[in-house]
Amino acid sequence: MTKQNDMPKGTVSTKAAVVIATAAFCSLVWSGFTSQAASPELSASIQSRSDVVKTSGPPQYPVMDQIADKLIQKYQVSTCDQLWLERAAQKGQPKSPAQQQAIAVLHGNPQMLSAFINRVAAPIATKMFECGMIP
């Protein structure tokens, strides 16, 4: 088994990718998506199993896909300075009810969490690496 210290420089461990993706999801909910995430209609849509499209592949989550797309876009268009300022502004702040709800939804649905992390981890980790936010 490879220890994290033995990993090639620039390699992000699975645990780090999960932490990054979860933090990024929370960041998106916190900044700009909160009004939609807090709506009862969206909450029901996220939690509803009827939202899962039946396909031969892994389940799909249209609402989660929208959130992931907005999050990826946010990281792609933001400058490093903007990301650092946002990170500093959020430090020590309590999580909003919408943010707590989004986290609870991901904790309650491992398939959705996996789909979300698989979708956002690489682009977010790349941008954070480029900005010096992760080693």
> Average per-residue pLDDT in the chain?
73
Least confident of 11-25, 43-57, 119-133: 43-57
Q: Report the candidate in 21, 130, 116 with the shortest Cα–Cα distance to residue 83.
A: 130
CB 110 within 8 A of CB 22: no
pLDDT score at 96: 87
53 within 8 A of 60, measured Cβ to Cβ: yes
pLDDT given for residue 64 in this prediction: 87
Quick check: is 101 in a domain?
Answer: yes
pLDDT, tens only, 113-130: 999 999 999 999 999 999
Do you know the residue count of the chain?
Answer: 135
Residue 114, domain extent: 96-135
Q: Is residue 111 part of a domain?
A: yes
**Is 117 a domain residue?**
yes
Query: CA torsion sign, 104 to 110 to 112 to 116?
Result: positive
pTM (global) more than 0.85 = no
CA–CA separation, 125 vs 133, rounded Å?
9
20 or 90: whose pLDDT is higher?
Answer: 90
Please report whether residue 62 resides in a domain: no
Total number of domains constituting the chain: 1
So what's the pLDDT on residue 60? 81
